[in-house]
Amino acid sequence: MNNKNRTVAGYKIIKSLTVANAEYVIGQNENNPEFYATWRVFDHDNFQWGAYFTGKDGTQNLLAAEKSLCQRALTEVNNNYPKEEIEFTTSAIFRTLFGERHRFGLTQGEMYMIHHAVEQYNIIASISEKIADRNIDPFSENNAKVIAEIANKFISDFNRGLGHDVALEEYITEHIAEFEKDLAPKLYDMSYLDTSPCSDYTGMVMLLRPDALSEEYRESKYQLFLAEGGFGCNPESSGRAVIGHFLFDKEDTRMNREDFFGVFDERYLPEWAKENLAELRGDNNSEDNDSPDMN
């Protein structure tokens, strides 16, 4: 479009870009050429949604305006044609719209950020898939953060030449022990219950409901509780109190019978829980640590 003699609010239009039937323009201030602005234009002369760049450095203002122009135009494209293919090159993003290609240039810094982000995303997706079968939820806030650290370490090692010949799967196998201690397993649900009839919870490992725990403790390791006494250990009693220990830190406390899903099937206990359970049962002079009474 011919921008000759187009002005708005003291700015002369020096560049325009039309995409998806929308026009975006850059204007240069006629009184202060160091200042620039971008607008969305309706019907050729209705300038809306101005963004102004009036810093001390005119070159930086112009670069910011150029970036604004491309970003706003690309947003317009994405909003109107979200399913169109994106074609990446070494210096630009091209969008093909009804057979016409639109180019959005990228700086070296922007290209690096895009490359790193895509690489990290792909690695995170691969790691998440590979650890999901370890009873670990890759999408919890804590685990997502740890997985991102694993991905960054892999990228860092690869960029230093340490990982060029190491497949990601082998890398995870080699390094998972470094991170697994920080990964929280999925919360246990009722599928982990021992469904055998039980008339007395005393000495049993009980499975706490997540909502019985404070939000910061809603992890599977805090759901395991060794019941040791209290009227609540009798499912038929009107009393509710269940006295015992959390398996994770062996802290003694009182819970209520309704706080539990039921008796946990000890076949699913992780190794650390088995060790703590043996210690607690030993401290309590339990005579049979291997086969709890499941009357």
- Residue 176, domain extent: 109-180
- What tokens were used for 228? 């040791």
- The answer to whether residue 243 sits within a structural domain is yes
Residue 174 pLDDT > 50:
yes
Q: Which residues pair with 185 in a beta bridge?
A: 136
pLDDT at 73: 80
Residue 227 pLDDT > 80:
yes
Q: What is the b/e burial string over 214-230, where b = at least 16 CB atoms within 10 angstroms of the residue's CB?
A: eeeebbbbbbbbbbbeb
Cα 235 from Cα 249, distance rounded (Å): 26
Q: What percent of the chain has pLDDT over 90?
A: 29
| CA distance to 20, 77, 90, per residue, from 84 (Å) | 12, 9, 20
Residue 146 pLDDT > 60:
yes
pLDDT at 181: 64
Residue 239 pLDDT > 80:
yes
69 shares a domain with 136: no
- The answer to whether residue 19 sits within a structural domain is yes
164 shares a domain with 202: no
116 shares a domain with 64: no
- The answer to whether residue 290 sits within a structural domain is no
Q: Which of 157, 180, 203 is the last residue of a domain?
A: 180
Mean pLDDT estimate for the chain: 79
Residue 292 pLDDT > 50:
no
Q: How many CA atoms lie within 13 A of 115 on its CB side?
A: 12
100 shares a domain with 17: yes
Tens digit of pLDDT for each residue in 51-109?
999 988 888 888 889 888 888 887 777 776 554 455 545 566 666 655 667 666 666 66
